[in-house]
Amino acid sequence: MPPELARAVEEAARAEGTTFSAWLAQTAAHRLKLEAGRQALEEWERENGPLTKAELAEGRARARSSLGRTSAASAERKSA
């Protein structure tokens, strides 16, 4: 692992009150869940056709709600 990445991980782990390895494990688990979701969506679309714009908008709204965000604008501000 590049030293600058290791330092960033160490800082992130410290900020969350966890260990380096626990932070990596949590991040890997999160990434694997995201990938499983992407694969499930691709499979669903292969079987049922692409999601409509309305379905995509509803999915995004549900995701924002589950993350405690109320709008796309607030999500953009938090990621900036």
**What does the radius of gyration of the chain's CA atoms come to, in whole angstroms?**
17
* Averaged pLDDT, 33-40: 94
Residue 73 has pLDDT above 70, yes or no: no
pLDDT of residue 69: 81
Q: How far apart are CA 62 and CA 72, in angstroms?
A: 11
Residue 71 pLDDT exceeds 80: no
**pTM for this entry:** 0.66
Dump pLDDT digits (tens) for 46-70: 999 999 999 999 999 998 998 888 7
- The answer on pLDDT for 2 being more than 90 is yes
**Could you tell me what percent of the chain has a pLDDT over 70?**
88
The answer to whether 21 and 28 have CB atoms below 8 angstroms apart is no
